[in-house]
Chain A
Amino acid sequence: MTAAASTDADLIAAHANGDPNAFGELVRRHRDRMWAVALRTLRDPEEAADALQEAFISAFRAASSFRAESQVTTWLHRIVVNACLDRIRRRQARPTVPLPETGPGEPVAAGDDMADRETRLVVADALASLPEEQRVPIVLVDVEGYSVADTAKLLGIAEGTVKSRCARGRAKLAKVLGHLRNPSADANVPDGTTQMGPDGGATRFLEGR
């Protein structure tokens, strides 16, 4: 039942029916893509690996509740994102632990066109340099393609706050990536290192789900 030709939905069904190998095949199919999502969201490789492990174990246990009308990748993606956001929430609950301000950039697969690889490395580095409260909404909306409404629900914040944080983050990225060339315009972009929130600063990044 774990033949390469099986669809993801077939594998989930086989797993729910007791096939001991089906879930492992599913993990192998999606591991690298989900690893990129976790690393992009959390920046720290150890944390990303732990979050991914938690997510796949959750998915393993919840597979029987998977509904065929949704895509397996969408379902898995949501579980991984939630596992990452849970980790960020736990991190915020420990105020004595400083948040990492910089982290390793997102790895880029070998074999792609060199210019494309370089561009993606630069973009990934720029994204990693954003403060967390701006980086995570941008990852969800601009990179992963979640709607503003879904992102607001995932983060437990208002839709307007998602838009505002995305706006600030994009302006900084446009500057860092060299798309903003007008010096007078450039002067209006907040510095990339600022930790001030777009709402005035002291608001929490994530609320409870």
Chain B
Amino acid sequence: MTGIDRPPHSRGGAPMGPPWPVDVLADLHAGVLEPEVAQQLWPRVRQDPDAVAVLDALDATRAELSGLAAARPAPMPAHFAARLDAAIAAEAAQRAPMRVAAPPMPIAPVVDLARARRKRNQRLGWATGILVAAAAVAVAVISIPRGAAPGTPSATAPLTLHSGQVNGVTLAAAIGHTDYGPFADPARRNACLAANHVDPSVTPAGVMRVTLDGTPGVLFVLPTGRLAEYRLLVVGDNCDTGNANQLDSVTVGGTAATPTR
């Protein structure tokens, strides 16, 4: 706007006649102006077709904006959704021990190993239940041979993986499984984990036989100690003392996946 066509102004600085600057009309429309100024402007503005057209344009804009929230949302991308499910599952697994230990104990209990195992399996089962949807996503991304039942913590056919597929989706598919394959013997398992610099006292959140690019092995889902973060360690069947036989190692959850080799 130039000085030539500048409209007459009120004492408060708002123009009192056409042509009305869009920013003044937008302020008036949004309720920014002082009430007494707005009260003076509204009758004048409504008499000017150009100003009314601008107000209509602002109304149309607001209507289109509100339409964004009313529209059916696009789905969250699968890899983000799997990461979210894994984080919620980890949170649920952390909470589970408190729930199981809830009954009051008058004296310090002697730990019954069988009972402790039942507790652990229950925890893993809960985490698995929460991850059913994520495992369904995994089916779409990872080839699971016929007969494999994602979400079931028992021995099944190996999960078929290819390079780059050891990620949050794999975590969602493997968490809660206890299929140790050639590492069912604790001594052998501990020897393999130690060879990969893993503290054998860390209880995996899931173990599953896999084939990675055609090589048979076992995937260990290892808590890192950080919230919702896991190390996915894949080792070959020959892993043992002095032979790490590491096929892949990736940290997932919390933040984006990062190789930890």
Contacts of A167 in B (CB 8 A): 23, 26-27, 29-30, 32
In Å, the complex CA distance between A106 and B65 comes to 12
Instruction: Find the A residue at minimum CB distance from B60.
Output: A179
B23, A173: Cβ atoms closer than 8 Å: no
Q: Mark A183-199, 1 if CB is under 8 A from B, else 0.
A: 01111111000000000
A144 contacts chain B at the CB level, 8 A cutoff? yes
Q: Is the beta-carbon distance between A164 and B32 smaller than 8 angstroms?
A: yes
Which of B82-90, B110-118, B244-252 lines the interface with chain A? B82-90
In the assembled complex, the Cα of A171 lies from the Cα of B1 at a distance in Å of 16
Contact of B141 with A by CB under 8 A: no
Complex Cα–Cα for A119 and B60 (A): 12
1/0 per residue, CB under 8 A from B, across A164-188: the answer is 1011101101110101111011111
CB pair B92–A23 under 8 Å, yes or no, is: yes
Identify A20's interface contact among B67, B69, B126, CB under 8 A: B126
Interface membership of B21, Cβ < 8 A: yes
Number of A-B contacts (CB under 8 A): 183
A111 touches B72 (CB 8 A): yes
Which parts of B69-96 form the interface with A (CB within 8 Å)? 69, 71-77, 80-81, 83-85, 87-89, 91-92, 96
Q: How far in angstroms is the closest Cβ of chain A from B136?
A: 10
Known contacts A32-B73, A46-B256, A50-B255; A182/B50 CB under 8 A: yes
In the complex, the chain A residue whose C-beta lies closest to that of B57 is: A179
Partner of A60, one of B26, B54, B91, B96: B91
Main secondary structure of the interface of B (DSSP, over half): helix
A50 to B71, CA, bound (A): 23
Q: How many residues of B sit at the interface, in one of the four size bands? A: 35 or more
Docked complex Cα distance between A169 and B80 (Å): 31
A120: CB under 8 A from chain B?
Answer: yes
Q: Which of B31, B72, B87 contacts A53 (CB 8 A)?
A: B87
B131 surroundings in chain A (CB, below 8 A):
24
Given the known interface contacts A56-B84, A143-B66, A190-B23, the answer about A166 and B73 at a Cβ–Cβ threshold of 8 Å is: no
Binary flags per residue of A91-132, CB closer than 8 Å to B gives 1, else 0: 000000000000000111111100010011001100100000
Which A residue sits closest to B98, measured CB to CB?
A18
Q: Which of A21, A166, A187 contacts B30 (CB 8 A)?
A: A166
Contacts of B68 in A (CB 8 A): 36, 40, 106, 120, 123-124, 127, 143
In angstroms, Cα B92 to Cα A20, docked, is 6
Are B65 and A138 in contact, CB atoms less than 8 angstroms apart? yes
B19 touches A24 (CB 8 A): no
Q: How far is the CB of B258 from chain A (nearest CB, A)?
A: 13
A49 with B32, Cβ < 8 A, contacts A24-B89, A33-B73 known: no
A7 to B76, CA, bound (A): 22
Which one of A119, A170, A184 lies within 8 Å of B29 (CB-CB)? A170
Interface pair A171/B256, CB less than 8 Å apart: no
* A150 is an interface residue with CB less than 8 A from chain B: no
B58 touches A171 (CB 8 A): yes
Residues of B within 8 A of A175 (CB): 22
> Cβ of B84 and Cβ of A27 under 8 Å apart?
yes
Residues of chain B within 8 A of A119, CB atoms compared: 64, 67
State whether A24 touches B85 (Cβ < 8 A). yes
Determine if A164 and B85 form an interchain contact, defined as CB atoms under 8 angstroms apart.
Answer: no
Q: Which of B1, B26, B228 contacts A57 (CB 8 A)?
A: B228
Q: Point out the residues of chain A lying under 8 angstroms from B60, CB to CB.
A: 174, 177, 179
Give B123's nearest chain A residue, CB to CB: A20
- A163 and B30: CB pair below 8 A? yes
Q: Does A18 contact B99, Cβ atoms closer than 8 Å?
A: yes
Is there contact, CB below 8 Å, between B72 and A174? no
Q: Give the distance to chain B from A172, nearest Cβ to Cβ, in Å.
A: 9
Please determine whether B228 and A170 come into contact, CB atoms closer than 8 angstroms: no
Give the chain B neighbours of A207 by CB distance below 8 A. none
Q: Is A28's beta carbon under 8 Å from chain B? A: yes
Give the distance to chain A from B33, nearest Cβ to Cβ, in Å.
9
Q: Which 8 A-B residue pairings sit nearest by Cβ, starting from the closest?
A: A107-B74, A179-B57, A20-B126, A167-B30, A24-B130, A142-B65, A35-B76, A36-B73
Would you mind naming 8 contact pairs between A and B with Cβ atoms under 8 Å apart?
A20-B129, A52-B80, A60-B88, A177-B61, A179-B57, A185-B50, A187-B1, A188-B23
Q: A142-B65, A174-B61 are in contact. List 11 more A-B contacts (CB 8 A).
A: A21-B129, A23-B88, A24-B130, A49-B80, A53-B84, A106-B68, A142-B62, A163-B30, A167-B27, A168-B26, A170-B26
